[in-house]
Amino acid sequence: MTAINAIRMGGVEVLPLVEGGKGISVSNGKTSGHWAASGGVGTFSAVNADAHDASGAPILEVYRGRTRRERHEELVDFAIRGGIHQAREAHELAGGAGRIHANILWEMAGAERVITGVLEGARGLINGITCGAGMPYRLSDIAARFGVYYYPIVSSARAFNALWRRAYSKAAELLGGVVYEDPWRAGGHNGLSNSEDPTRPEDPYPRVVALRKLLRSFGLGETPIIMAGGVWWLDEWRDWIDNPELGPIAFQFGTRPMLTRESPISDAWKKKLLTLAEGDVFLNHFSPTGFYSSAVNNAFIRELRERNERQVAYTTEPVGEHVAEYGVGPRRRSVYLTPPDLARAHEWEREGFTEALRTPDNTLIFVAPEKAREITADQIACMGCLSQCRFSNWSEHEPDYSTGKKADPRSFCIQKTLQAIAHDRDDPNSVENNLMFSGHNGFRFATDPFYSNGFIPTVKELVARILTGR
């Protein structure tokens, strides 16, 4: 058994066990409140969080705006209202134990407006803000305004160095901890840099040692580092605990809290988690954010992979080997392919993939007519959920709210699919036909004896199990 001692985080003593924030509507007030009540740090997602009606049912988001900009404003209002609701529920359930954190993604649209609105509407109920998916320089300013602690999520010492020198050094007293999120093992969006190979995972230990050395150079030797990604049994991390080279360490659990009785995900989703095999979680580059992300390799991901494989480069004039004329769109406008690619295009057409869609990289992808209609409809219905979206070419920045690039049909509407898998509880196929984020250890549900015979614990039982080291 690995001994687990309390750690000082956010100004109090807590168990070094942190619930990872998962949007949309997956980490909520109920899960985070119970996690905090068990003595750890509960985290609810403030990314388009659900509000609930008087009966306790989630209030589904219905957009009435005629333009993207109008729908974006509705989305921000929904997110603030939902975040306040979840904060209140978490605070009530925690009963003064542990800590309650709100998680946001810096690359979500209106991130600063949303978290500011939530903190204003839930004053005194939230103890910390965790934030990743981008470089959240303004995070420390927001924390200082409301007197809460902040926890940036980084995947390297270099990233934290930039954040510290530009902004965080001005609010050092409120830096509650630094989350090291392993870019090869964590679920959801990952912080792989251009110089890192997605197919070659690196040992997290030297990367975290480098982060600790940097923190000590800034006088932050006692600031906790929270290890996120790949954590399952603490016995497997015993060399990290009470290790003077690493200093204060806590551990974040993102995937495991999904399989609890308090978790709001559907029964079909929970059953799917219990059947995952090693390799079923796929590190992919399809997200409209432009980040890599880790998701279950279900029918949704397979369709994206196949869609991207049916792709050829084109030119608008005959150039080099691109001499084979091909007509694109209803007006059959001419582009030029290589002869081998023209043969491939005709083969895809014979298979039913008759619609050629242009990408921003001067390539064509081939899809069936119904998929083409779905892609176009989703792009038109965009509600501006990201700061920049490569799928719809939305940008939250004025004057034209556009990335300035063509919309990219190789990606997808992330808001649509995450809302669907979170709320289509009565559709057993929802877990196959939507984006299903997971950490790479998700396959261990099927092999861990704790979950034998389909056992699903309460949050309290899960935390108690983790404290045994196993």
Q: pLDDT tens across 200-215, in order? A: 999 999 999 999 999 9
Domain with CATH 3.20.20.70 in the chain: 7-278+446-467
Q: Which helix (H) or strand (E) holds 35?
A: helix 29-37
Helix H or strand E segment including 294:
strand 292-296
pLDDT of residue 3 exceeding 80, the answer is no
Pick the CATH number of 7-278+446-467 from 1.10.357.10, 1.10.1040.10, 3.40.50.800, 3.20.20.70: 3.20.20.70
Q: Which residue has the tokens 């892609």?
A: 375
Return the axis-axis angle of helices 29-37 and 459-467, rounded to nearest 10°: 40
Q: Quick one: pLDDT band at residue 2, thresholds 50, 70, 90?
A: low
Residue 226 phi, psi dihedral angles, 5° rounding: -105, 115
- Residues with Cβ within 8 Å of 253's Cβ and at least 6 positions away in sequence, in order, are 17, 18, 19, 20, 231, 466
Q: In this model, does residue 257 exceed pLDDT 90?
A: yes
Q: φ, ψ for residue 78 (rounded to 5)? A: -60, -45
Residue 211's pLDDT is: 98
pLDDT, tens digit, 9 for 90 and up, residues 355-400 = 999 999 999 999 999 999 999 999 999 999 999 999 999 999 888 8
Residue 24 has pLDDT above 90, yes or no: no
Give the residues across from 386 on adjacent strands.
108
What average pLDDT score do residues 18-35 get? 93
86-90, 195-199, 269-273, 392-396 — which is least confidently predicted?
195-199
Rounded to whole angstroms, how far apart are CA atoms 143 and 158? Answer: 22
Half-sphere exposure of 118 (CA within 13 A, CB side): 37
Q: How far is CA 54 from CA 163, 183, 261, in A?
A: 42, 40, 22
Query: Residue 222: which residues within 8 A CB-CB, separation 6 or more?
Result: 8, 247, 248
pLDDT for res 410:
97
Average pLDDT for 180-190: 92
243 near 196, Cβ under 8 Å? Answer: no
Q: Smallest Cα–Cα separation from 107: which of 47, 55, 195?
A: 47
- The pTM score is 0.94
Our CA angle for 321, 408, 110, nearest 5°, is 150
Tell me the three state secondary structure of residue 166.
Answer: helix
Report the sign of the C-alpha dihedral through residues 454, 227, 414, 68, in that order. positive
Query: In the chain, what is the straight-line distance between the N-terminal and C-terminal CA atoms, in Å?
Result: 8
pLDDT at residue 23 greater than cutoff 90: no
User: What integer best gives the mean pLDDT of the chain?
Assistant: 94
The string of pLDDT tens digits covering residues 297-324 is 999 999 999 999 999 999 999 999 999 9
Strands 324-328 and 333-337: antiparallel
Give, in degrees to the nearest 5, the angle at Cα 348 between 345 and 353.
Answer: 115
What separation in angstroms does the CA of 328 have from each of 334, 364, 440? 6, 9, 40
